[in-house]
A and B are shown apart, each in its own frame.
Chain A
């Protein structure tokens, strides 16, 4: 094989300059000049062969593997020499002389004959136009101020007395709304490298701290104790904290906030002492037991000697107030919703309502004369000549029922919720709550056994009604409003906005100019009818829904009972002077009723003459507070 031919064409293998990997999977490695396959050696050399070869073959160092023919070639001496020379950076050809003497073609001596005989160009004598143009451009640019000389280096010192001429009156350049950034919080004991032991977190606290989000943590770092200053490591969040401060300074919106700095004691209103407002009930003195289910309603006799109560156990009980003895028990045909003792002391009648019936009872308690006169009053009724159709049927009780005390039975078309007497004791009103019809409130006259429906239209679900104690006014409380009607003129005189969600009870001051409303949303609204149609005061004393409210007839007291089991007695003084607003002071919180089925006190009523308050509760008891 000739050396000179090898770079041009390799005649040993005709595949050409292709990657030999292409033949990896074949037994041959290419084709020779005759077109025959060149086969790979049968066995490839492995590492061990290679090693043995290296150890044993003296020519190993001059053996080269030829990929194209897959054979090992031992280099000849000339070839080895060539490699050595190339490695040294010498020419490959041994005979090449790199230091041949140079031949001076153009001598440095000036000959008498020029090489060319061309005359010099004209342009070498005249100034260049292009240059002139360039210069003139520069000159123009300088003239126009486009090119400026280099600025001299600034010589003023970097720092000088900036505030040499400061104006003490100058406010901040911008405006007065500037809010200076608050300073960083100063560190407390817990940040010390060696804090007192109580500032270190316990194991549980530490776990809690680790599980909290970074924003929720009270301390942004874990307090740690190091025995000496040498042991204190670098704080890993130092740069973070500085960066966060930077962000706060330029990104955080600022706002002036006024800090209230008041003594909490000053916020408490100065009220007259309850001691000075006596008498009012302070202690529970009697418990009337006997009912077996919740006592919905109670009412005291006008003399103050008796008390009637109606309960869900289908009974009405009569109690002697002073002894707590149950004088009488009457079974009625349903859960008693409401009881009301006739306020007229000359009449001994009790109205009881259950289901759709209103029963007038003569309990036969107290003065015999009064009892008999009451009976006479009822029997002396003479039916009128022309019988008008009435919404209610009046029926006189006879026989055993009469002996039990039943006198008159008023059968209503719907379930009755409440009965109320007029102050004179002749009229009585019953409530049948029903949103859809106008037949919700009825007014009955006992002496004439007459029934009227005062309203033509329904104005919402009626909750309770009440008569004005002195004047012919009629109060109707719907869910959110209290309407006051003039019964003589037959017109609406006032509509009170209670601001409550759902009125539960209502009571009218014996003077007639004030009214309180209890509501299921824990509020008690006091209205001064002369003042406005909005509440004069909203009292949120109870924690739960109010069920009953009551005014005392003589004393300036009112009470409210609620589902939290408490009765709150307030002093509610109404002055005759119209310019002076009523004075309302809570004087006592009375507790005693147990809460059963989430119900506490269901009804409250005052003793007619004494400063005592009765309350009936869901725990089937009636309590007297004196």
Chain B
């Protein structure tokens, strides 16, 4: 029995983790610098599996970093830059104090700066990796680009963010990769499919921000610094894949058109150029002039069996996607001044429509309201004075709903002044058992090619006529119906969950009929199951209970939603009836 006694916490998981303070001391950095470094390098705390072991027996709440991560930070060149910057600030302060203005100037000239290129390359070794992680970068840049230039962050950052987002939008327009859009109460969600990756971002509505006081803008600025670098590189690469010039340039044809009109309004050439780009109304210049867009057709390979089916499915999908890309092709839109111009122009252009707006609203409008060839005018006000006969006046939701439905929806529901149908989220994918709002069912039917709307309306009318006769009876029946419904619900629950069914006693006078036999069989089965559940192991039972609890909760929620919907519909129907009665 030789050897030294093994000491605790000197091997195993205790040595793999390091607390934040220790890590900071090891790196000899201040907390702010450490935070910055973590953000830039993408280092995050890890939750150890056995916290007590890692924490050397203590259960105090601590955040742990992987020791490997911290070691990896040790030889990061940017740490030296941080120190240099600290020295620079000290020198500058001293020079200021001594009023050595030449010294100040010299120091300013040699201000140490750093680049994040190598970090980006290191964090995202391949382009796809970077693309996969761009969601947050997009949302952040879109947020920063809407900030006022009032000192919450550097003006350069804001302009850079604006530039990058405009570039991104131009790319999405040119590649026609937008897939889904959603108007939420937070802002507008967009989802694009770029090189096979689904990228979602959120753009706030165009309002001035009420800057909260409990937000640390330095943290956000550090993130933005990293994101702008990443975003720029990604934009460059994306433009390259489409053979576009980077930084983006307008098509020479479009440029000459735009040049004539608005040049004098802008002081700086670069400013007006960005504005023109952000108008999204003109196409971009290409490195190699090519024909508009090549049809990329799937090559046909001789295949058999399952492969063939897969192939066909893929082909179908491809076709659908192509169709979606040219959803608005051939339509000519005009945006009224009260609708969000940028988002609508972006979406419409993404699906091949022509868009214009009032000259005074923004640069880049290509035709006037008076143009006779306009097919749709997007309007968000209760009424219009002067209306043209040969165009539809629709509310902006039509565009969003049509994009999500992948088809041009009937415009009747979205006319000026009508009550809009609910706007559904395109991101929800219902599994069986989940609640599906009736509007979604209707939409799905529409997509399949049926036209249930008219029939239903007719039905409604018929029903209403009948109902008027039966009204009084109905009210009496209503309570009964409710009871029945409750019973049904209960039974349905029992069937699915097999928890509430109590074992019945064999009643000889009942066993004869067929229905009772079925019921008896069911009860028997339910009891069997209940007995089997009793024999489950503790661990499995726990898991089973948890799953069942979750299922029960979802059914409860679904029931609640359906009940709410039904109540609402009943209320609205009653209102309608009242109105009718008043009219008569």
Instruction: Name A residues whose Cβ lies closer than 8 Å to a Cβ of B.
Output: 150-151, 158-163, 166-168, 170-175, 177, 179-181, 183-184, 186-189, 191-199, 202, 221, 223-224, 226-230, 232-236, 238-243, 245-247, 249-255, 260, 262, 264, 267-271, 273-275, 283, 539-541, 568, 584-589
B72 at the interface (CB under 8 A from A): yes
B residues in contact with A587, CB < 8 Å: 531
Task: Jot down 26 A-B pairs with beta carbons below 8 A, ordered by A.
Answer: A162-B121, A172-B129, A173-B122, A180-B133, A187-B186, A187-B425, A189-B424, A192-B424, A195-B423, A226-B185, A230-B380, A233-B207, A238-B186, A242-B220, A243-B215, A243-B219, A245-B139, A253-B45, A264-B547, A269-B535, A271-B535, A541-B534, A568-B534, A586-B535, A587-B531, A589-B503
Q: Across the interface, do A246 and B219 meet the contact criterion of CB distance under 8 Å?
A: yes
Q: How large is the interface on B (under 10, 10 to 19, 20 to 34, 35 or more residues)?
A: 35 or more
Is B148 on the interface with A (CB-CB < 8 A)? Answer: no
Once the chains bind, are B423 and A174 in contact (CB under 8 Å)? no
Cβ of B204 within 8 Å of any chain A Cβ, yes or no, is: yes
Do the beta carbons of A198 and B535 come within 8 Å of each other? no
Chain B residue numbers with a CB within 8 Å of A240 are: 212, 214-215
Decide: A170 and B125 in contact? CB cutoff 8 A. Answer: yes
Given contacts A151-B110, A194-B423, A239-B212, contact A189 B183 (CB under 8 A): no
Q: Which 7 A-B pairs have the closest CB atoms?
A: A234-B207, A186-B427, A255-B47, A170-B125, A253-B45, A253-B47, A198-B565
Asked whether B232 is an interface residue with its Cβ less than 8 Å from the other chain, the reply is yes
Report the bound CA distance from A79 to B527 in whole Å: 119
**Contact flags (1/0) for B158-191 with A, using CB distance below 8 Å?**
0000000000000000000000001111110100
Contact of B185 among A168, A174, A193 (CB under 8 A): A193
Whether B246 and A192, one on each chain, are in contact in the complex, defined by CB atoms closer than 8 angstroms, is: no
Q: Taking the nearest CB of chain A, how far is it from the CB of B217, in angstroms? A: 9
| A229-B183, A229-B380 known; A196-B424 Cβ under 8 A | yes
Q: Hey, which chain B residues are within 8 Å of A163, CB to CB? A: 121, 124, 126-127, 130, 233, 237
Q: Assess the A159–B425 pair: CB atoms within 8 A.
A: no
Task: Closest A residue to B142 by CB, please name it.
Answer: A242
Chain B nearest CB, measured from A438 CB (Å): 38
| Nearest Cβ on chain B to A164's Cβ, whole angstroms | 9
Given contacts A195-B423, A586-B534, 15 further A-B contacts (CB under 8 A): A159-B233, A163-B124, A166-B126, A179-B46, A184-B202, A186-B189, A186-B427, A187-B427, A191-B186, A197-B568, A228-B420, A236-B210, A249-B44, A250-B219, A253-B63
Are B381 and A194 neighbours in the complex by a CB distance under 8 Å? Answer: no
A242–B143 CB distance below 8 A: yes
Are A172 and B125 in touch, CB under 8 angstroms? yes
Alpha-carbon gap, A178 to B208, bound state (A) = 38
Report how far A166 CA is from B535 CA in the complex, Å: 57
Q: Which residue of A lies closest to B147 (CB)?
A: A239
A192 contacts B422, C-beta separation under 8 Å: yes
Point out the residues of chain B lying under 8 angstroms from A227, CB to CB.
419-420
Residues of A contacting B109 in the complex (Cβ-Cβ under 8 angstroms) = 150
Contact surface of B with A, Cβ cutoff 8 Å: 35, 38-39, 43-47, 49, 63-64, 66, 68-69, 72, 109-110, 117, 120-127, 129-130, 132-133, 135-136, 139-140, 143, 182-187, 189, 200, 202, 204-205, 207-212, 214-216, 219-220, 223, 232-233, 235-237, 240, 246, 338-340, 380-381, 395-397, 419-420, 422-425, 427-428, 437-439, 503, 505-506, 524, 527-536, 538, 540, 543-544, 547-548, 551, 561-562, 564-565, 568
Residues from chain B with Cβ under 8 Å of A174 in the complex: 68-69, 72
Residue among A202, A227, A246, A273 having the largest count of chain B Cβ atoms under 10 Å: A246
Are A198 and B127 within 8 A (Cβ)? no
Measured between alpha carbons, how far is A250 from B40 in the docked complex, in Å?
9
A-chain residues with CB within 8 Å of residue B533 when the two chains form the complex: 268
Q: Which residues of A contact B216 (CB under 8 A)?
A: 243
B186 and chain A: residue at smallest CB distance: A235
Given contact pairs A192-B425, A243-B220, A161 touches B237 in the complex (Cβ within 8 A): yes
Residue of B126, B135, B396 near A183 (CB, 8 A) is B135
| A330 vs B202: C-alpha distance when bound (angstroms) | 86
A247 to B217, CA, bound (A): 12
Interface core residue of A181, A189, A260 (most chain B CB under 10 Å): A189
Supposing A160-B236, A198-B568, A586-B535 touch, asked if A170 and B184 sit within 8 A by C-beta, the answer is: no
**How many A-B pairs fall under 8 Å by CB?**
273
Are A196 and B183 in touch, CB under 8 angstroms? no
With A195-B423, A268-B536, A269-B535: A232-B185 Cβ-Cβ less than 8 Å? yes
Contact assessment for A283 and B506 in the assembled complex, using a CB-CB cutoff below 8 Å:
yes
A189/B437 contact (C-beta < 8 A), A158-B232, A254-B47 known: yes
A187-B189, A241-B186 as given contacts; A584 in contact with B395, CB under 8 Å: no
Name the residue on A nearest B529 (C-beta): A268
Contact A228-B219, Cβ < 8 Å, known A252-B44, A269-B535, A274-B528: no
Q: Choose from A239, A253, A267 the contact partner of B44 (Cβ within 8 Å).
A: A253
Contact between B126 and A162 (Cβ–Cβ < 8 Å)? no
Q: Is the CB of B185 within 8 A of A283?
A: no
Instruction: Answer whether A274 and B185 are a contact pair too, CB < 8 Å, given A163-B237, A168-B126, A250-B38.
Output: no
- Cβ-defined contact, B117 with A255, below 8 A: no
Measured between beta carbons, the chain B residues less than 8 angstroms from A250 are 35, 38-39, 43-44, 219
Most buried by B among A202, A227, A269: A269
Q: For B124, list chain A residues within 8 Å (CB).
A: 163
B205 touches A232 (CB 8 A): yes
Q: Which residues of A contact B223 (CB under 8 A)?
A: 246, 249
For residue A177, which residues in chain B have a CB less than 8 angstroms away from its CB? 46, 66, 68
Please tell me if the beta carbons of A239 and B237 are within 8 angstroms of each other in the complex.
Answer: no
Most buried by A among B235, B534, B561: B534
A249 to B38, CA, bound (A): 10
CB nearest neighbor in A for B49: A255
Question: Given contacts A186-B427, A245-B136, A264-B544, are A239 and B183 in contact (CB under 8 A)?
Answer: no
A229 and B127 in contact, given A198-B565, A234-B205 (Cβ under 8 angstroms): no
A239 B38 Cβ-Cβ under 8 A: no
Alpha-carbon distance between A174 and B136 when the two chains are bound, in angstroms: 22
Give the CA-CA distance A18 to B220 in the complex, in Å.
59
Query: Are B439 and A234 in touch, CB under 8 angstroms?
Result: no
Q: How far is the CB of B462 from chain A (nearest CB, A)?
A: 24
Tell whether A229 pairs with B220 under 8 Å between CB atoms, given A197-B568, A273-B528.
no
A260 contacts B543, C-beta separation under 8 Å: yes
Q: Are A586 and B531 interface neighbours, CB within 8 A?
A: yes
Residues of A within 8 A of B529 (CB): 268
**B531 touching A589, Cβ below 8 Å:** yes
A196 interface neighbour in B66, B143, B437, B548, Cβ under 8 Å: B437
Q: Which residues of A contact B548 (CB under 8 A)?
A: 264
**A267-B544 contact given A159-B232, A198-B437, CB 8 Å threshold:** yes
Task: Indicate if the CB atoms of A254 and B126 lie closer than 8 Å.
Answer: no
| Cβ–Cβ < 8 Å partners of B121 in chain A | 162-163
Q: Complex: how many Å from CA A240 to CA B213?
A: 10
| A234 in contact with B204 (CB, 8 Å) | yes
Specify the chain B residue showing the minimal Cβ separation from A168.
B126
A186 to B422, CA, bound (A): 18
Q: Min CB distance, A482 to chain B, in Å?
A: 22
B205 touches A235 (CB 8 A): yes
A195 to B179, CA, bound (A): 21
Look across to chain B and name the residue whose beta carbon is closest to the beta carbon of A148: B110
B427: which A residues are within 8 A, CB to CB?
Answer: 186-188
* Residue in B39, B125, B133, B207 whose beta carbon sits within 8 Å of that of A166 in the complex: B125
Interchain CB contact (< 8 A) of A159 among B186, B219, B236, B565:
B236
- The reply to whether B139 and A187 contact each other, CB–CB distance below 8 Å, is no
Residue from the list A166, A173, A181, A194 in contact with B183, Cβ < 8 A: A194
CB distance from B141 to the nearest CB of A (A): 11
> In the complex, are the beta carbons of B185 and A224 less than 8 A apart?
yes
Complex CA–CA separation, A578 to B183 (angstroms): 71
Contact B136 A162 (CB under 8 A): no
Give the chain A neighbours of B189 by CB distance below 8 A. Answer: 186-187
For the complex formed, measure the closest distance between the CB of A240 and the CB atoms of chain B, giving whole angstroms: 6
Question: Are the C-beta atoms of B564 and A268 separated by less than 8 Å?
Answer: no
